[in-house]
Chain A
Amino acid sequence: MKRRAFVKKTALSSLAGLVGAPIVFGRKMPTNYFPVVLQDADPYQLFRLDQEMVVLNNRPWNIEAKAHLLNEDITSAENMFIRNNGIIPKDIDASTWSLTIDGESVKREKTFTLEELKKRFKHYTYQITLECGGNGRSEFDPPAKGNQWTVGAVSCAQWTGVRLRDVLEDVGIENDAVYIGYHATDTHLSGDPNKEPISRGVPIEKALQDETLLAFQMNGTDIPLVHGNPLRLIAGGWPASASGKWINRISVRDRVHDGAKMMGSSYRVPCKPVGPGEKVKDEDMCIIESMPVKSLITYPKSGAIIGLEDKLNIRGHAWAGELEVSKLEYSIDFGSTWQRANLDQPVNRLAWQHFSASIEFPQRGYFEIWAKATDTEGNNQPMVLPGWNPKGYLNNACHRIAIKVE
């Protein structure tokens, strides 16, 4: 009753607002236009999230974890960041879902039902790190536009599906194939049915990797709606936007895929380094491929107070895009000295690696623990922000937590 009255009031006040500050009615005004800002759903119930998850944006839904929520070895849905460029599709019916493979470089277009995909091709399960290209954006100066992710736009769940390679081989692809691009059923924020909110992809070499999946399960059950049910692409180690959700078509292209959010400055960084705030022309921006080496201290939660006689056991994860992490070091003296932490092997390629250490503090006071991972090519995480870029991607500066010793 109250809610209905509220909605009515909101609508009325929006109309009043319209009169108060008239909109210049553009020709392109979407037909479903109605300025109801509220989304009345509770995201914590809707997506079954931990209460400590942080909503950055409710239209479209963008929600991130906090570092300590990511302590699990395998990220569960309740602690998994949510990234959307458009509106989540409604009324998904897995029983009628199909995937079409088309494009300039397929021998012939072919459509599979979801059931056919599941029946005809072998299933594989991998634990895969997916990190948003803009994770850490909030730290850039001058600030970059977009959702201001802090540290929590990363996850490492178990994904089950069929290899994209197996499917593409069944369809047959030409030698001139360069890229694949996905298409999905989410809708553009403006409501324009002719616009895709996002249609990205990966080079054919990445598409043909063992771990690149057409996935239908996450952590052993059907993928939750918000994470791409019933079918999504999984291309680990790359900006998670390459792992399209709700996909119903994959185009095998004879050129770099030119779908939405492939062009301009989207998911691109300057091809050569630029100074903070510098203007960069679109043609000087290069597509992000493998994500950089990074780590996160997931235990304890920042702000722990311990006694001088206590040992502090820390835990966390480290990952390095296409590469592996070879070393994890931590510092309790603001980077003056570094100690090695124990670092596990990944359960499979492209999965994050767990680290742990036991720390004794030399005296009482305020400390920070910094974690720094090094990848197999010798790149490590910077202690300050890495190179500035217009859209604020790829911040892999080392993670820090605060500790007080009493």
Chain B
Amino acid sequence: MNEHDEIRRIIKAISRLTIGIVMVTGLIVTLLIYYMMDPNVPAITEWLTKTETTNNEDPDKVENGIHVRTGLIEAEGLMSVINNCTNCHSAKLVIQNRMNEERWISTIRWMQRTQNLWDLGDQEEIIVNYLVNNYPPLKKGRRQALSDIQWYKLEN
């Protein structure tokens, strides 16, 4: 084996390795892009759910239509709300509130004006739609009936 063949062999090995790396990277990138387009890829979601049920602490577990970690209603736009609306305050503040589109938007403007909320860009529409659809105002009238009464026998 002369020196020339040796070099050729090395070059071949390197190029094979490079192709391998490129292919694996390509595969990962493709999967990531796929996941970016639709985070609810059945295979990935399944895999996540499976790994997470093993220690029972899935951060994105949904139970009875509620995103367990935050308490928010699972619906279109949920991830946008979590990512943009729970950095400063907890989701509990969102859940307690019920507003129409105009007032949700004015709340966002107030947070942008005074609370350092960033420009939401094209996420704003998604977020506002999510809020209006899932947390609309409820009619309460001038006084509601007493509810959730827990009856108990009063001992004298």
Contacts and interface: CB of A to CB of B under 8 A. Distances in A.
B33 to A, nearest CB: 10
Contact of A384 (B96, B117, B142): B142
Contact of B143 (A5, A60, A384): A384
B90 A57 contact: yes
Interface in B131-151: 137-144, 146, 149-151
B90 A59 contact: yes
B36 A303 contact: no
B123 A303 contact: no
A146 B150 CA distance: 27
A395 to B, nearest CB: 10
Given A35-B87, A57-B93, A385-B143, A19 B36 contact: yes
Interface in B83-107: 83-84, 86-93, 96-100, 103, 107
Interface stretch (B1-9, B10-18, B19-27, B55-63): B55-63
Contacts of B88: 30, 59, 189-190
Given A37-B90, A59-B90, A141-B140, A302 B146 contact: yes
A26 interface: yes
B154 A145 contact: no
Contacts of A146: 97
Interface in A91-139: 139
B36 A20 contact: yes
Main secondary structure of the interface of B (DSSP, over half): loop
Given A59-B90, A147-B96, A139 B152 contact: no
Contacts of B103: 142, 145
A60 B88 CA distance: 8
Nearest to A59: B90
Interface stretch (A6-14, A174-182, A220-228, A345-353): A6-14
Given A38-B69, A58-B92, A304-B154, A143 B97 contact: yes
B39 A20 contact: yes
A272 interface: no
Contacts of A281: none
B83 A21 contact: yes
A21 B39 contact: yes
A90 interface: no
A365 interface: no
A239 to B, nearest CB: 18
Given A19-B36, A24-B123, A143-B98, A195 B80 contact: no
Contacts of B138: 143
Contacts of B99: 142-143, 145
Category for how many chain B residues contact A: 35 or more
A37 B146 contact: no
B83 A23 contact: yes
A246 B103 CA distance: 33
B140 A57 contact: no
A260 B3 CA distance: 78
A143 B140 contact: yes
Contacts of B82: 17, 35, 37
Contact of B91 (A19, A37, A368): A37
B115 interface: yes
Nearest to B91: A37
Interface string A138-154: 01111101111000000
B96 to A, nearest CB: 4
Given A19-B35, A146-B97, A13 B118 contact: no
Interface in A243-261: 260
Given A13-B60, A56-B96, 15 more contacts: A5-B57, A9-B59, A16-B35, A17-B79, A20-B36, A20-B79, A21-B80, A28-B117, A37-B91, A57-B89, A57-B93, A139-B140, A143-B98, A188-B116, A305-B154
7 contacts: A13-B59, A35-B83, A37-B90, A57-B89, A58-B90, A145-B103, A192-B116
